[in-house]
Amino acid sequence: MDKAELLVALTAHLDKYEQHRQYIEKAKAQAAKFKPGVVEKVLLDHEIKSSDVADKVGPLLPEVRALVAGLDAEKAKISASKGTVDEQIQELELRQVIGELTDAEFEAQVADLRASAGSANERIAAIDADLADLSGAVDRWASLAGPHGHYTPVADAAPE
C-alpha cells in the first residue's frame, strides 16, 4: 500500500474508532435516563465495534513504521549528498582562483550544483510533510486508543 492509500485507510479507521468512542461517552452521559440493560447493550455494542476497528488499525501500524523508516533513510541519503555541495563549490572556487576554470565555467557549474541542492531541499521538504502526516496519524491513534487499551507504543511493547 502506498503512502496515500495507507493514510486514507488509517484516517478512515481513526474516524470510525473515534465515532464509536464518542457514542460510548454519550451513552454513559445519558445512562440515568434509560434502563441499565439498554445502556449496557449500547455500550457493549460500541465497545465491540471500536475493538473491531482497532483490530483493523493494528496491521497498518507496521506498514506506517516501515514507510517512516524508508522515508527517514531517503532523507538521510539526500541530506548526505546535499552536504557535499558546499565542499564542491569550494573546490570550484579554488579551481577558478588558480585559473583552471573561467568565470563562465565556474558560474555554470555552481548553478548546476545549486539547482541540485534546491531539488534536494524540495524533496526533503516533501519527505518532512509525509513524515508529519504519518506521525500525526499515529499520534492521533495513540491518543484515541491508548486510554482504552487498544494501542501499545512500540517502545513499551514486550520484547520478542
* pLDDT of the residue at 155: 56
Q: 138 or 156, which is more confident?
A: 138
* pLDDT of the residue at 51: 96
Flag the least confident range among 17-31, 112-126, 143-157.
143-157
Q: And the C-alpha cell for 137?
A: 496519524
Q: And the C-alpha cell for 58?
A: 493494528
SS3 99: coil
Q: State mean pLDDT over 75-91.
A: 86
Sign of CA dihedral 13, 18, 23, 25: positive
Q: Where are the domains of the chain?
A: 3-150
* pLDDT of the residue at 157: 43
When pLDDT is cut at 50, 70 and 90, the band that residue 37 belongs to is very high
When pLDDT is cut at 50, 70 and 90, the band that residue 105 belongs to is very high
* pLDDT of the residue at 86: 79
* pLDDT of the residue at 48: 97
Sign of CA dihedral 52, 54, 58, 61: positive
CA dist 7 and 2 (Å) reads: 9
71 Cβ contact list (under 8 Å, min separation 6) = 127, 130, 131, 134
Q: State mean pLDDT over 32-53.
A: 97
Whether residue 41 contacts residue 111, with contact meaning beta carbons closer than 8 Å, is answered with no
Q: What is the mean pLDDT of the chain?
A: 91
Candidates 42, 18, 16, 17; CA nearest to 29 is 42
130 Cβ contact list (under 8 Å, min separation 6) = 3, 71
- Percent of the chain as helix, strand, coil, to the nearest 5: 85, 0, 15
When pLDDT is cut at 50, 70 and 90, the band that residue 34 belongs to is very high
Q: Could you give the percent of the chain with pLDDT greater than 70?
A: 96
Q: State mean pLDDT over 4-16.
A: 95
